[in-house]
Structure 1
């Protein structure tokens, strides 16, 4: 049906358009729509008839005694069954027994097809729901009510356009006569619609709307396209048509007709190009239309008409202001803007008066916030070149809204409760803006944020989702606009400047919205409202975090404020040193996090405590920024800031640990990361001492970082390690729950750092101790390396003796865990001899010179022999076969070295001493420490001996 209707309509359109392609396409589209509507109507009628037949069949089956209803698809049943069922009548009921049921002879038995039902479709997303709603609305307009009339009007307009085109191309009538015929047709439609307004209201209103539109278009064509009517005359006629349509709309209580009439009225200046370019006449004309809308608002709560007037008025005003405004038009534009704002604020009040709701009279947020937002923007554009112009504009809008709130609160306190509160919020917002605007700053983003917060507040008071969505979107745009336009904050005034106050106002709006979102807000009962509520509940935390971010950003912008330059074109000078700016930003974050933590704990607002959980990250970023700027912790007054910052961090960490372990993993990570940060802070303090003494080119600088890690590891071993060994009783915070974190998780990377650092320092450092003389074994390098080795051994012993042993600490048990410490000890002892040879024997501190020195090689051979001797003697006395084998291996390595390196010494003296000493020592080993016998558990004994 749809296809054939489209084909017929396409052929008809093709013929009517003189066989042009556009007629074929347009006719086909119209045919598709008409065919679809016709098919829908026919199917609906068939469905009604089928349901009636289904009811009859079910009744007969029930009388027969068949409990299973006949549930087959009605439109797919065989025709024979339908005809048979149509001839059957329900038998009369008897109090004794029902009569026998005789099966019709022409009944055709058939079985119900098996239907496989799919799973329930997934819930549509937000975009799909909006699109479906829009399509449904368009479908209701076209096929709701008198569908045939609406489709007929569309086809009629297309036909009239074809007829006019054909007549013009054929030259049948002069243009004046053709236009007169079209206008007469529009008047006829208007008259017929008015006559049928009582008998058939929908039909009559549709014809009247078509008639008004036809007259509008005819006047436009006569004035602009064909120049047959003067522009001034067409202007006046269009005004009369608008007035006539308005009168008919009021008479018949039709908002649609009023919207059609006023849409044409507002389009007159755009269609006709104004009255000779006189903007004053256009303003006067629009004012008359707006007064007419205000007059209607006193009698009818037609929101669509109000919104049409508002958007048309301020839209055209904005377009004209951007493209054609001249300073000479200031007085006219100012008067028109003030009058328009007053009209639509009054319209908003009248709409609220005529629209009761569940929580008081309903407020149209568009008409309340729209004049404030659009009007203030236009006013700011008009007075942008005047001193304090924007500030006075804000004061004027504040006076208007606060004055209206005062009047309505006095006469209608209960019914206008939401309206009064909204007016008061807008007025307070403009009062807030007046102060910074008086300083000459740009506050667009701040104004949008306040407007968004106000719209959201009105939406949550009225249980309306659309104002809340608008408020959230406006605040997001405001935040993005501020971030995009952020730059240097150049101002001579602290706090009262654009950067600080603008960000603070955005923060206030976002934090207020987050506070309202902390609990579930009521919404209307509609699919879109339910969908919005489902996603709205997820925005409470992001809103607070974004608001807290702008709160901190406001202070950061103020800390980075620059003074105005003395001469134009110069770079504004900074007021605070870069490292001090970094530390103050860190301190402000920690102080703010502590403040909001207190608020969150006091008012049971969990998300307010979230910034306190990342205080360690603020400390780490502050330390990195300070070091990058060339500062140190012990600089003055930086150390005061660091003391306060660390105290705040520990206080927030303590309070968070008292709460239920909802973020337990984050808390453990904070305790562990705090230890690592302490290493970096201690290293920075040592670096400042080295820098102050000018020791960067000495070994003091090489051992500073190692000393920092070693000191922290020693503290952890003494403090947390003993807590693990002594059980869980009598532990205080933070060891009551985090002893393993400090003694094991935080200590493992530090121990690895100390081990690696000790190895590198031993291999790289020459032991230069300027300005002190070099003393073997008592120089800073040797002492630090010995202490590092001792700290590592003590930490391992503490972990081995922990009760219970931390997960993963089993790797420190057994002889394999001692191998790294033994290797490090061997390297450290060898490098002690290398540094001694460098300082006392004059060997250059380079790998080539050390390896080429036969004195160094001879000393290494003797040293290795002595070490082997000591190990073997110790192993013999304790009966540790494995330890003895280690010493023997070292002696074997010494022999290999003698044959490969020392034997090539051409000098002879060092070679002789080396071979003699090593030989004697090996004889001593053979006498004092023969190979111990193999015993059980030898490995464990060796491990205990080395430990």
Structure 2
């Protein structure tokens, strides 16, 4: 069993020593390669500068002869020949340094370092020391087993210790003349002394645990002092390894963790002291790995909650050591951060916080306070180091850790909704910081945080109960903060001249803004008032966007205002469908908000016209006619009011709007009169389209004028349709591109209106049923025949008298249609008086035409008449 312990001790000592030596050799090779690269770069720069100075030397050499020629007498002007222009010297080109070849991997470098350790430097001494250590251990074991030495064990161990001490003194004196030999011999002597202490304690029981531990500490401290004095990293690493392994090979299994961590605290104080004088990265990393590695192993195997009070101080102390060591390294050595420094800077807080979480058994609020404390600590360090150029990267790393732990504290301390709020605000701040510093990483981090905020909000809503307080509840406040964070990010990108990103963030924020508002309306507003509440919210949001656009113009803001004003159209239609009256109270009070917010929004949008501004103004000018027409229709929907009034109620507001757009456009242009003229015709065309869409179906309506009596052409519906027709003819006459449509529009409209008025008169006066069956009655057919005949004869007479050939032909065509109607339709009514009247009436009218206009006018007369009519 004792031989096995010796073998284990040798392995534990030899393997770390070999690994450390290999790592040191690798570090030395890296330094040598860096020196060689700097030398090669300097040579390339000098070679590049040499050709550039050559043309200047040549020019100086040619300057002397040129001046001598200038002093001599000048030749005759006739013989003077201008010298050819000397070609400009080609600029010296600086060859680009070739890209360095890809270095070997980590395994290859490690193998090469081990091979170099056995093949470079003072190889005999290195091998001899290792063999000597093994031989001494074997000798001690052999002497113990065979009893060859009758000298007491105490004296034998003392002799070995004395020999090792003498070797150490001899190696110290050789440090200046034979540095490599002396360092290897010192390491071997310290190793023999440590083995002697181990043998005296473990194998022979000659030393109590406390004294053996104290002697080991003294030897380790001596080795570290020798390393610092001689600037020997390998010796320091050997001493630190021995120091960390000493509690393991000297352990009896019944020690206290307080004693163990106290010893490690003392050992880390030594590492800290060495870091104060030497920038030895490998030593710092070994101390970190052994301290937290062995501490973690003890925690996994033996920690209980009752050990918290005696364990927490050591965790804080170790964290403080390895928080300060990277700062000391940055102070001792100028240059950029390498991988080891990054491991300590980022590894220390992450490992320490993970161990802290294990000690606290996952308690959220204490962990949140710990994370917040770490954030404050790292923020203070970053603030302290911010103005020092050589430590700028270390300051940025601390700032990043501060942000990270502050972010981590939020979900630990707060609910999901509050976490969403904090993440969103922090993400907006990071986006702003990234744009301010022109760095991509904070922008990406800010975007990711806001996405996490959305996820946290969704989880909070999914697992939370119903809210009981409107607006002032976690769901609403957190959602609004997410929306505001999106708006802030949009503002930051807009200020950085990144319009696409700004638009994306603005849409993101607007979606959250609208979604939260609609959710609150659905939860806390009565169902019959929800459309009005959503309408007011949309208009108010558009007004806010317009106010922001007034100070900082943006197309997206103007479109938001346009959408808010267009909500009036949707609200009018929804209310008309739900309650048949857009202005029905109490929801009708929303129109007051629309009037106030809408008017102010248009005033705020004053400025250069754009499509968004035009859309907002058009939505405003469309909403009021629509709401008024639907409101009048609902108002006149009672049983005592005839259907003709309803058609008038629908068409009259649009007719007034079209009349104002045509005759008084300035009244509609307020308050955006600057660009109104450019799109006035489009607005007027949209109004006329609505009027035509309502005028055509009204032809098939009975148009009851109750409570008024029926009067042909003087009833409300006929007057309304006549007014629309007159406006259409007027617009066709005053619009150059529509002038040729004036007569056809008038003819078709008048003919259709006359027929509709005739049928309505028959319905109201003669009691004919208003349906398609009315066309099978003799009265209707006779009335239509006489009306068409009168209109056709009027066309013949007017066309003949005024020389309008087109009108005469139209009348002839209509009379032909009447004749065809008599043959095909009215002949079946010849058996009654009305059918006979049809035929007689047509004959009389045709006879009258033969007397007043027997033949069509000549083409010349027609042309003259057309010209006169045009004038």
Shift of 1:858: 1.8
The 3 A distance-change label for structure 1 pair 908 and 694 is closer
Which one has the largest radius of gyration?
2
1:443 corresponds to which of 411, 418, 423: 418
- Name the CA shift for 1:578/1:319 in 2 (closer, same or farther; >3 Å): farther
Aligned match of 2:381: 350
Match of 2:535 among 548, 560, 583: 583
Shift of 1:665: 3.2
Q: In the aligned structure 2, how far is the partner of 1:741 from the partner of 1:58?
A: 68
**TM-score when scaled to structure 2?**
0.64
Q: Does 1:869 align with 2:793?
A: yes
Q: Residues 53, 776 of structure 1: CA spacing in aligned structure 2 closer, same or farther, 3 A cutoff?
A: closer
TM alignment of 1:660-675, pairs within 5 A: 661=608, 663-675=609-621
- Alpha-carbon spacing, 1:457–1:794, altered in 2? closer, same or farther (3 Å): closer
Partner of residue 796, structure 1: 732
Q: Any conservation in 2 of the 1:491–1:497 contact (CA below 8 Å)?
A: yes
Contact conserved, 2:583 with 2:631, CA < 8 A, in 1? yes
Shift of 1:311: 2.6
Are 1:787 and 2:713 an aligned pair?
Answer: no
Residue aligning to 1:646: 595
> Which digits, 9 at most, give the CA deviation of each residue in 1:231-280, with x for residues without a partner?
999x9699689888766655532456535643565455666771336366
My pick for the range that moved more, 883-892 or 674-683, is: 674-683
- 1:208: Cα distance to partner? 8.8
Which one of 678, 685, 689 corresponds to residue 624 of structure 2?
Answer: 678
Q: Does the 8 A contact of 1:231 with 1:275 survive in 2?
A: no
Match of 1:916 among 840, 843, 847: 840
Given the alignment, which residue of 797, 802, 818 partners 2:743?
Answer: 818
Q: Confirm or deny: 8 A CA contact 2:644 2:701 kept in the other structure.
A: yes
Corresponding residue number in structure 2 for 1:290: 319
For residues 897-912 of structure 1, the aligned pairs below 5 Å read: 897-905=821-829, 907-912=831-836
Tell me whether 1:153 sits opposite 2:110 in the alignment. yes
Deviations 1:307-331 (A, max 9, x none): 322233445666999xx74xxxx5x
The partner residue of 1:252 within 271, 275, 278 is 278
Given that 2:542 and 2:562 are in contact with CA atoms closer than 8 Å, whether structure 1 keeps it comes out as no
Match among 495, 499, 505 for residue 481 of structure 2: 505
Name the CA distance, whole Å, in 2 between partners of 1:665 and 1:595: 18
| Counterpart position of 2:4 | none
Per-residue CA shift, 1:626-665, capped at 9, x if unaligned?
54253644223444432342343233324433x2x2x533
CA distance in 2, matches of 1:515, 1:509: 10
Given candidates 351, 355, 358, the residue that maps to 1:312 is 351
How many pairs were matched up?
A: 687
1:783 and 1:214 mapped to 2: Cα distance? 112
| Counterparts of residues 689-768 of structure 1 (less than 5 Å) | 689-691=635-637, 693=638, 698-720=643-665, 734-735=672-673, 737-742=675-680, 744-762=681-699, 764-768=700-704
| Mapping for residues 829-908 of structure 1, pairs under 5 Å | 829-847=754-772, 849-905=773-829, 907-908=831-832
Rounded to whole Å, the distance in 2 between the matches of 1:461 and 1:882 is: 76
Distance 2:636 2:858 in 1: 54
Shift of 1:789: 1.3
Question: What is aligned with 2:169?
Answer: none
Q: CA 1:700 to 1:57, structure 2 compared with 1: closer, same or farther past 3 Å?
A: closer
Give, in whole Å, the separation in 1 of the partners of 2:767 and 2:453. 72
Q: Residues 671 and 741 of structure 1 are in contact (CA less than 8 Å); yes or no, is this contact kept in structure 2?
A: no
The 3 A distance-change label for structure 1 pair 463 and 319 is farther
Q: Which segment is superposed worse, 338-347 or 455-464?
A: 455-464
Gap runs ≥5 in structure 2: 1-32, 67-98, 117-137, 139-186, 192-219, 332-340
Conserved in 2, the CA contact under 8 Å of 1:365 and 1:467?
no
**Alpha-carbon distance in 2 for matches of 1:887, 1:213:** 120
Structure 1 residue 928: deviation in Å?
1.7
CA distance in structure 2 between the partners assigned to 1:906 and 1:912 by the alignment: 5
Alpha-carbon contact 2:633-2:646 (below 8 Å) kept: yes
The alpha-carbon distance between structure 1 residues 941 and 343, as it changes in their structure 2 partners (threshold 3 A), is: same
Separation in 2 of the partners of 1:920 and 1:541?
76
Partners of 1:736 and 1:256 lie apart in 2 by 75
Q: Indicate conservation of the 8 Å contact 2:808/2:856, yes or no.
A: yes
Aligned pair in 2 of structure 1 residues 719, 647: CA closer, same or farther (>3 Å)? farther
Is the contact made by 1:880 and 1:941 (CA closer than 8 Å) also made in structure 2? Answer: yes
What does 1:21-100 align with in structure 2 at a 5 Å threshold? none
Using the TM superposition, give the Cα deviation of residue 358 of structure 1 relative to its aligned residue in structure 2, in angstroms: 7.7
Q: Kindly tell me: are residues 942 and 871 of structure 1, through their superposed partners in 2, closer, same or farther at Cα, counting changes over 3 Å?
A: farther
User: Conserved in 2, the CA contact under 8 Å of 1:579 and 1:626?
Assistant: no
The CA RMSD over aligned residues, in Å, is 5.6
1:6-62 Cα offsets, whole Å, 9 max, x none, are xxxxxxxxxxxxxxxxxxxxxxxxxxxxxxxxx999999999999999999999999
Q: Distance in 2 between matches of 1:923 and 1:864?
A: 16
Does the 8 A contact of 1:882 with 1:939 survive in 2? no
Segments of structure 1 that go 5 or more residues without pairing to the other structure are: 1-38, 67-91, 98-135, 160-176, 178-183, 223-227, 381-389, 391-440, 521-533, 563-572, 724-730, 801-808
Alignment partners' CA distance in 2, 1:777 and 1:359: 96
**What is the CA distance between 1:823 and its match in structure 2?**
1.8
Higher mean C-alpha displacement, 822-831 vs 280-289: 280-289
Q: What are the residue-to-residue correspondences of 1:560-571 with 2, within 5 Å?
A: 560-562=522-524
Q: Aligned with 2:605: secondary structure? A: helix
Report the Cα offset of residue 921 of structure 1. Answer: 0.7
2:760 is paired with a residue whose SS is: helix
Aligned to 1:394: none
Tell me: CA distance 1:210–1:478, structure 2 relative to 1, closer, same or farther (3 Å): farther
Q: In structure 2, how many angstroms separate the alpha carbons of the residues matched to 1:696 and 1:196?
A: 111
Deviations 1:595-633 (A, max 9, x none): 434xx53xxx334x8535542321222441454253644
**SS of match in other structure, 1:606:** coil
User: Are the aligned partners of 2:532 and 2:571 in contact in 1 as well (CA < 8 Å)?
Assistant: no
Q: Match of 2:411?
A: 377
Tell me: CA distance 1:251–1:46, structure 2 relative to 1, closer, same or farther (3 Å). closer
Q: Specify whether residues 914 and 538 from structure 1 end up closer, same or farther in structure 2 by C-alpha distance, changes over 3 A only.
A: closer
Contact 2:799 2:808 survives alignment (8 Å) = yes
| Higher mean C-alpha deviation, range 876-885 or range 781-790 | 781-790
Work out the CA distance in 1 between the residues paired with 2:376 and 2:648.
75
Provide the secondary structure at the position in 2 that maps to 1:813: helix
1:587, distance to aligned residue in structure 2 (A): 3.8
Please report the TM-score for the alignment, with normalisation by the length of structure 1. Answer: 0.59
Counterparts of 1:57 and 1:766, CA distance in 2:
104
For residues 272-283 of structure 1, the aligned pairs below 5 Å read 274-276=300-302, 278=304
Worse-matched range after superposition: 251-260 or 240-249: 240-249
| Structure 1 residues 792 and 213: CA distance shift in structure 2, 3 A | farther
- Residues 546, 561 of structure 2: 8 Å contact kept: no
